[in-house]
Amino acid sequence: MAILKILQYPDDRLHKVAAPVTEVTETIRKLISDMAETMYAAPGVGLAATQVDVHQRILVADTSEEGNKLMVFINPEIISKSGESDLEEGCLSVPGIYEKVQRFENITVKALNDRGECFMLDASGLLSVCIQHEMDHLLGKVFVDYLSPLKQTRIKNKLKKRRRETM
Ligand code: GNR
Ligand code: NI
């Protein structure tokens, strides 16, 4: 197992669009276990492959209280969605920034698990928001892209300043 480096916003690589996984191989399973370790160590409730500079449609999530319910989604697709949610979101690629984002409250996701088997899952609340946030990463989208240009500039400046002061 290994802890992977998480790309930090702004970084052009966070805007790459991930390609579908064609076969769930041992290499993919190794990546997934490293992504899980990286997410738990951060700590975070989700992680998309894009954030570790792997541009394939893979995400991991664990929104359980105890942090013992790892979920793996390969080639995820949202097949139904309803309701509205506006939770305050954070992102491991945008540390220390929290903003509300409009999302669907309920989603049904279809994906492959780490054995390459197809499954469906109904999600609501934080898990639903987390999956939508991670699926955006796979499309090259970061939650700050939804904010006003003024807020985006402020966030970039804040992160630059913080990096100057801590490096
Ligand atoms: O750890 C995370 N918390 C979180 C909180 C609200 C909405 C989404 C998230 S995902 C985030 C981890 C992350 O950056 N995943 O891409
Ligand atoms: Ni994120």
- Domains annotated for the chain, with CATH where assigned, are 12-166 (3.90.45.10)
Residue nearest to atom 11 of ligand 1 (CA): 91
Lookup: tokens for 62:
């664990």
Q: Indicate whether residue 47 lines ligand 1 (CB < 6 A).
A: yes
Q: Indicate whether residue 147 lines ligand 1 (CB < 6 A).
A: no
Alpha carbon dihedral 14, 17, 23, 28, in 10-degree steps, equals: 0
Q: Indicate whether residue 137 lines ligand 1 (CB < 6 A).
A: yes
**Among the listed residues 9, 121, 40, the one whose alpha carbon sits nearest the alpha carbon of residue 32:** 40
Measured CA to CA, the distance from residue 72 to residue 83 in angstroms comes to 24
pLDDT digit of tens for each residue in the chain (167 aa)? 899 999 999 999 999 999 999 999 999 999 999 999 999 999 999 999 999 999 999 999 999 999 999 999 999 999 999 999 999 999 999 999 999 999 999 999 999 999 999 999 999 999 999 999 999 999 999 999 999 999 999 999 999 999 899 76
| SS3 readout for 33-65 | HHHHHHHHHCCCCEEEHHHHCCCECEEEECCCC
Q: Is 66 a catalytic residue?
A: no
